[in-house]
Amino acid sequence: MAGVSTEQSSPRESSAEQAGTEPTAAEQAPETQAEAAEPPKRASGKLLGLLGGVAVVALAIDILTKVAVVANLEGKQPVELFGGLLYLDVLRNPGAAFSLATGMTWLLALLASAVVGVIIWLAPKLRSPGWAVGLGLVLGGACGNLVDRFFRAPGPLQGHVVDFLSVFAPGGAVWPVFNVADSCIVCGGILVVLMSLLGRDYDGTVHRKKKAAQS
């Protein structure tokens, strides 16, 4: 009976082996949270395409509508649409959206260029479809008005923007005359603000989930 081995690992050795091979839940939690919080990088290409597509469509619609109204309606009486809800009334605006800052055309052109640059710089970091659409609208609208600033009379950085949409009355009597680019900028800005209020950042971070994970 002396030759029979009855070796058994002690409780300390068993616990040491388990500790060496299986990480505890406390050790796994930070890594799991970090992986959950990390946005999917593979979606960036699709989001860049979404942002660019929205911007191109907005820019194209803005340019085409401006060319059409200048060629057919400039210098003529306003055209009433939808029973007076909307009027096509072509005006040349040296200022910002809704005829603001009319004496600072060159500065507005530089500010719009800066906005375009910031959006292009931010675009590769996007991980949110909502932000991509919002920034795409702002980018397309800013580029649309920049085309007028650079290529319309009286000259580069001094060009007057073509406005032609007047609601409820012609001539901006009720609301300042605007264009498609202005509408895109406003709608895109509203969408970006809404995403921020919902706690969703451009990089895909959701603040509510982040706070819950930290707590």
Question: What residues are labeled active site?
Answer: 163, 182
Q: Are 165 and 177 in contact (CB under 8 A)?
A: yes
Contact 191, 130 (CB under 8 A): yes
* Separation between Cα atoms, residue 15 and residue 208, nearest integer Å: 38
Query: How many CB atoms neighbour CB 106 within 10 A?
Result: 15
Cα 167 to Cα 47, 48, 159, 160, 190, distances in angstroms = 34, 34, 24, 21, 20
| Long-range contacts (CB closer than 8 Å, 24 or more residues apart) made by 106-111 | 106/157, 106/158, 108/149, 109/146, 109/149, 109/150, 109/157, 109/158, 109/159, 110/157
Cα gap 134→123, rounded to integer Å: 11
Tokens of 116: 């375009």
